[in-house]
Amino acid sequence: MDSLNNVTGSGYYRSARQAARSSKKVSIVTLASGQKIAFIKPYIIPNVRNGRTVKNRPTIWLEATLEARDQMALSVAANYITYLLNKCTSNCMYNYAIVPLVVGEKAYAYAATVDPAWRKTRQDTGEGNYGVNLLENFKYGNWSEGSSDKATQVYKGESPMSAPETQYQVLKNATNPNNRLSVTFSSRGGKLSFPFAYTTTPIGASANYTAILKEYKDAAALSLSGTNYQIGPFGGIDYRAYGHPMDYNYNQYPGPSINIAFGLNQTLAADIKKNVDEFNKGINAVIRKVKQVDNWPL
């Protein structure tokens, strides 16, 4: 995969340019915020008349790099775009929508070159402060409990959804009700989680979510990463994030909403390769499980 060595974002742009050249298979939408969304149809064969349109074809969303310091998230997302375009062998009959760099290019570059601990966006919030933490800014959490201190790395913003980088959800709403699975990459430490992030209390369907995520865990154990993942509600096994997009997705869309915190996070080509292998195996296992539970049309 041509972006395995990506830790600066170059692989993401290479994948986007490559995608744009295959217009029937993918479209790249650039938002006012500068974010790019890749809408991919792996089942399309360029220059060949494809089969009939499938009604209510499921759409799978992947939302990555929600924190500026998370170079691994971008690397895995960029490689997954390449995989879907050129090497898809499993679950290729679905639509995919991928936002590889939710936090924005400026914030990502700032973390890569100036402050490796930077987590927020880079919008000017006044009084010499910059940035909103996107895990504190989405609706359907408990935004009021977040930090109002603009100087901290967990600043919640002026109001829910006030950060421009949350507005990719407008396009996500446009693909509803076919959004049958939402996957976010956030945090670290080998954890597979489900809602809620804003509280330690899990959702009522925690048993179903645990069964879904166990598929990923089992696949990961047999992958190159070999990560032994912990499974549970984000707020219980990780930390309380009062405006996490996973909670927004859970409330807004019909399909399951899950979060992946990779176990390997060093910016090394070897770790990227292992996480890419793990994610390809893990997400395919999850899709196979979800389409059975959720009764997908194909």
Work out the pLDDT band at 1, boundaries 50, 70, 90.
Answer: very low
Parallel/antiparallel/unpaired status of strands 179-185 and 257-261: parallel
* Confidence (pLDDT) at 15: 56
Candidate CATH numbers 3.40.630.10, 3.20.20.80, 3.40.50.720, 3.40.50.9100; the one for domain 10-123+163-293:
3.40.630.10
pLDDT higher than 50, residue 163: yes
Cα separation, 45 vs 88, in Å, equals 12
Nearest to 100 by CA among 56, 180, 34, 146: 34
H-helix or E-strand spanning residue 97: strand 95-99
Q: What is the full DSSP assignment across 229-271?
A: -EEEEHHHHT---TB-HHHHHHHHSSS-EEEEE-S--SS-HHH
The pTM of the full predicted model, rounded to 2 decimals, is 0.93
Nearest to 141 by CA among 232, 188, 203: 203
> What is the rounded average pLDDT for all residues in the chain?
92
Segment 19-45, tens digit of pLDDT: 555 558 999 999 999 999 999 999 998
The single-letter DSSP state of residue 25 is T
Name every residue whose Cβ is closer than 8 Å to that of residue 13 and which is 6 or more positions away in sequence.
none
Domains of the chain, residue spans: 10-123+163-293
Segment 217-274, tens digit of pLDDT: 999 999 999 999 999 999 999 999 999 999 999 999 999 999 999 999 887 899 999 9
Residue 61's CB is within 10 A of a number of other CB atoms, namely: 26
Contact of 26 with 85, CB cutoff 8 Å: yes
Cα separation, 204 vs 141, in Å, equals 16
Residue 165, sorted as left (phi over 0), alpha (psi -120 to 50) or beta, turns out to be alpha
